[in-house]
Structure 1
Amino acid sequence: MKKRFIKNSGAVGLLVVLLQSCAVTKDYSRPELKLPENFDNLSVNAEKKINEVPAYQQYFNDPLLKEMLDQVLAKNTDLQMAAEQLLAAEARLKSVKLNYLPDINLQVSAGVQRLSQNSMMGAMSSGQIFQEYNLAPSISWDVDFWGKLKRQREEAVSGYFGLAENRRALRVQLIAQTAQAYYNLLSLDEQLRITQSVEKSMQETLQMLKTQYSVGDVTALAIKQSEAQLAETRALIPDIKASIKAQENALQTLAGNYPGSVKRAQSLQDKAFATELESGVPADLLANRPDIKQKEFELQAANARVGIAKTDFYPALKITGQGGLNAVKASNWFSIPASLFGNAAAGLTQPIFNKRNIKSNYEQAVHLREAAVHDFRKSVLMGVEEVSTSLSNITHIKEQMTEVNNRKTAMNKAISDAQILYKYGEANYLEVLTVQQSYLQSELAYALVIQKEINAYIALYKALGGN
């Protein structure tokens, strides 16, 4: 009897080994991308890898900005939610890893039963009292010979790392968003300073015109035109102040704080970045950009789900076994070998009537995988586009900066000359008012182009994957 049991167990084991070699699912392989060799010939250094993009602590110069970034990354609610989602995925991953192992349970029971003497069984046993004592470990194992559990684990692993990259993408986005908001705030401060300075100059001009009007050197028309220009300039100030407050509130919200003032630098002119970024080559984006890596992990998960759906076409093998001690008297419960018992079984379950549903699920999984392929390719295209656009913007903003600076220099001299010429009667009041207005526009344009250049470098930092 014992030899027959061993022989049958060996046959079952051999069957399991043979069936485990019959994998019906396919491993993931990255789709062909055909990446370009450079970013449209814009500032490309093919020998400099973009995985050397510096961390924000090394990239930005402003210590107050870095302090704000520390707060945002520590307290931002979106980032905290992403962290909790990642922990939930980690817990699921640990659970899926255990699916390879058999389920092992232990049942311990003791019972007593007295049958009614008026019942059929009670009449036959003369109302005898029955006892039963049981100590029985049991095992149940779903054998993964089609690779279903393997694909379930791959899906869970890909889902976990996809969420990890999503959190990293959110982190990079927050760094860029915070830095842009911070420098937008400095730009607004600069615009307010410029506008208030020009307002003061216009007040002085108006006062001078009033003095000349009192002695008959100018008409009332000059006074009215100067007052109108001053009012137009003053009207800009409340709007700028409102924008400053809104930008401060937005920054504090990013940092997980209630609205309030923001500590910041005194000038927009200071050098914003500690190092120049190198663009590298487009293929580097696959290794560095978290959004592209996230899309590839989503594709890997979709590929695993195709494998899971395909295994449903095939029979499932389940092995069960139970053994232990069983007795009808407590005194005999641990009497060995008399109280020993055991059983083992293996069964195949083959779907028959629900094959249409299984096929539909499989077809759906295949189409969703193909959609994930297109989504992955789209993320690569967008990554290359964003870097190329950022490089182009930086190049053309530098050209714009040269011309705006030339205009600013010219207007600085023009306003000085206009005041001197007017003082000596070589220029009229209309020329002075026109120069003052043009000076204001040139100063504001210069502040805005500095802001544009900083934002372009921040956009490049984000496009390269940040750190």
Structure 2
Amino acid sequence: MLKKNQIQSVSILSVFLVLTACKIPAITEKNENKKIPAGYSYSYDTTNSAQLNWKEYFNDSYLNNLIDTALKNNQELNIVLQEIDIARNEISIRKGEYLPFVGLKAGGGVDKAARYTSRGASEANIDIKPGKETPEPLGDMLIGAYANWEIDIWKKLRNAKKASVNRYLATIEGKNFVITNLIAEIANAYYELLALDNQLEIVQKNIDIQNNALKIVRVQKESAKVTELAVKRFEAEVLNTQSIQYNIQQQIVETENKINFLLARYPQPIPRQHQDFEHSVPQIIYAGIPAQLLDKRPDIRQAEQSLMAAKLDVKVAKARFYPSLGISAAIGYQAFNPAHFFKTPESLLYSLAGDITAPLINRNAIKADYYNANAKQIQAVYEYERTLLNAYLEVVNQMSKINNLEKSYGFKSRQVEALTQSITISGNLFASARADYMEVLLTQRDALESKFDLIETKLQQMNAMVNIYRALGGGWE
């Protein structure tokens, strides 16, 4: 007979499950496209500069000290580290949801039923021997343990915990991405500082050249070889160059403080390499193959972990359509008199119950949550593909930029050399009255601009060296 009852119970439960599960709404799923070109147009070599530690990649000890300080003190990085702790705690929360909840309970109180109530009247009419009446008021003391447990039949709770793990791993990759960008930002600002130092030095040298030319013009004016107009034009050019000097000094202050901000400290001088920035040689870059971006780029790894979490969220939302099974149990002692409190089995209480629940009517909230989870999963797919495409394009653009800047720098170097020589030539021609003073001024101005352009090109070269290291995913390991 017991076996027959069990079969009936299973049959009823099966029908119940079919009724609740057959109405799950359909969704349109989307899978990510991980296809990426086998190689870059210029290389299929697997040698990758991103494998170098940043201390090896940047061979400037001053720069390395700045980066090391930033990795310890940067406020944005420290904020991200707290987000990692938050995500780690979320794993513990999710893990606890599929384990039994066990607690202890103790309590006491008194209870007196009103005589003119059904309970009070019934207790008063009970024929009890003298001295054995129900105490009034009636005490109540309880101590025991209780447990509640939702059986994770459909892995709803476990999938939620796995999704939390993926989000935790995504925050770690987010931290790595912050590190990569932080290193690049400091390195770019450092090289900008060196370029400004070099431009300031060029301006100061140019001021000396222009002052010497001004002296010559004044002498020639005294001998009536030139007019006052020439003197004023030379004076104006000197004043203009001096104003450029202070503009550069202001840029130096702002760039130093930009680095100080990244290092989370108040303004102070930035120690740096006092060498000829113009002759700095960029690091030789090896881009490897595009497939290495999947392992090296923290933002791709972060997008991948977020996508995995989003897929699990869809499973969690789908599991809410299915019935949930819960078990509750309790055991302890309860009595109205301390003298009877621990008498067994009279004061012993225990319970064991199971329940199964499932949504049947008005499931709109569950459907909406299911649709939202799927939409977010599709968003995560597009975000992953966009991140992968962006990473590939960044590498291609930076490698092309490195190649073109190298060629451009060669031509600009020759231009600077020619204009530098023309300053001396124009000065000699002017002194012998074979050139106009405007030719001297224009030659000096062109030479200054060409030197500035050369330094700017060198800065772009160094920035490209930094940016390709970041684009390849270097710096965080």
TM-score strictly above 0.5: yes
Structure 1 residue 189: Cα displacement:
1.3
Match of 2:312 in 1: 304
Deviation string for 1:273-302 (max 9, x for gaps)?
6x5332111111111111111111111121
Match of 1:85 in 2: 83
Distance 1:181 1:431 in 2: 37
Superposition pairs of residues 235-384 of structure 1, within 5 angstroms: 235-267=243-275, 268-269=277-278, 271=280, 275-384=283-392
Given that residues 412 and 454 in structure 2 are in contact (C-alpha distance below 8 angstroms), is that contact kept between their aligned partners in structure 1? yes
Query: For residues 376 and 50 of structure 1, do their structure 2 counterparts lie closer, same or farther at Cα, with a shift above 3 Å needed?
Result: farther
Structure 1 residue 204: Cα displacement:
0.6
Match of 1:218 in 2: 226
Report the 3-state secondary structure (helix = DSSP H, G, I; strand = E; otherwise coil) of the residue aligned with 2:150.
strand
Structure 1 residue 368: Cα displacement:
1.7
Q: Does 1:36 align with 2:42?
A: no
Deviation string for 1:150-172 (max 9, x for gaps)?
21112211111111111211121
Report the 3-state secondary structure (helix = DSSP H, G, I; strand = E; otherwise coil) of the residue aligned with 2:106.
strand
Match of 2:54 in 1: 56
Deviation string for 1:353-392 (max 9, x for gaps)?
2223222221221122111101110000000000000000
Superposition pairs of residues 421-460 of structure 1, within 5 angstroms: 421-423=429-431, 427-460=435-468
Q: Does 1:108 align with 2:106?
A: yes
Structure 1 residue 434: Cα displacement:
2.9
Match of 1:47 in 2: 46
Report the 3-state secondary structure (helix = DSSP H, G, I; strand = E; otherwise coil) of the residue aligned with 1:258.
coil
For 1:302, the aligned partner's letter is: A
For 1:102, the aligned partner's letter is: P
Q: How many residues align?
A: 448
Distance 1:303 1:120 in 2: 58
Given that residues 174 and 302 in structure 2 are in contact (C-alpha distance below 8 angstroms), is that contact kept between their aligned partners in structure 1? yes
Superposition pairs of residues 120-139 of structure 1, within 5 angstroms: 121=119, 124-125=123-124, 128-129=135-136, 130-139=138-147
Structure 1 residue 314: Cα displacement:
0.8
Percent identity between matched residues is 28
Structure 1: gaps (5+ residues): none
Report the 3-state secondary structure (helix = DSSP H, G, I; strand = E; otherwise coil) of the residue aligned with 2:144.
strand
Distance 1:300 1:83 in 2: 22
Structure 1 residue 67: Cα displacement:
1.7
Given that residues 30 and 378 in structure 2 are in contact (C-alpha distance below 8 angstroms), is that contact kept between their aligned partners in structure 1? no
Structure 1 window deviating more from structure 2 (68-77 vs 82-91): it is 68-77
For 2:410, the aligned partner's letter is: T
Q: Does 1:398 align with 2:406?
A: yes
For 1:453, the aligned partner's letter is: Q
Given that residues 189 and 255 in structure 2 are in contact (C-alpha distance below 8 angstroms), is that contact kept between their aligned partners in structure 1? yes
Given that residues 50 and 469 in structure 2 are in contact (C-alpha distance below 8 angstroms), is that contact kept between their aligned partners in structure 1? no
Match of 2:127 in 1: none
Deviation string for 1:110-136 (max 9, x for gaps)?
444455667765564467243333232
Superposition pairs of residues 406-417 of structure 1, within 5 angstroms: 406-417=414-425
Match of 1:143 in 2: 151
For 1:390, the aligned partner's letter is: Q
Distance 1:221 1:118 in 2: 121
Distance 1:297 1:380 in 2: 13
Given that residues 299 and 369 in structure 1 are in contact (C-alpha distance below 8 angstroms), is that contact kept between their aligned partners in structure 2? yes
Distance 2:154 2:118 in 1: 51
Given that residues 317 and 347 in structure 1 are in contact (C-alpha distance below 8 angstroms), is that contact kept between their aligned partners in structure 2? yes
Deviation string for 1:380-415 (max 9, x for gaps)?
000000000000000000000110111122223332
Query: For residues 120 and 313 of structure 1, do their structure 2 counterparts lie closer, same or farther at Cα, with a shift above 3 Å needed?
Result: closer
Question: 1:170 is matched with which residue: 178, 184, 194?
Answer: 178
Structure 1 window deviating more from structure 2 (107-116 vs 135-144): it is 107-116
Structure 1 window deviating more from structure 2 (283-292 vs 111-120): it is 111-120
Query: For residues 65 and 272 of structure 1, do their structure 2 counterparts lie closer, same or farther at Cα, with a shift above 3 Å needed?
Result: farther
CA RMSD of aligned residues (A): 2.9
TM-score after normalising by structure 1: 0.88
Question: 1:155 is matched with which residue: 154, 158, 163?
Answer: 163
TM-score after normalising by structure 2: 0.86
For 2:55, the aligned partner's letter is: Q
Match of 2:205 in 1: 197
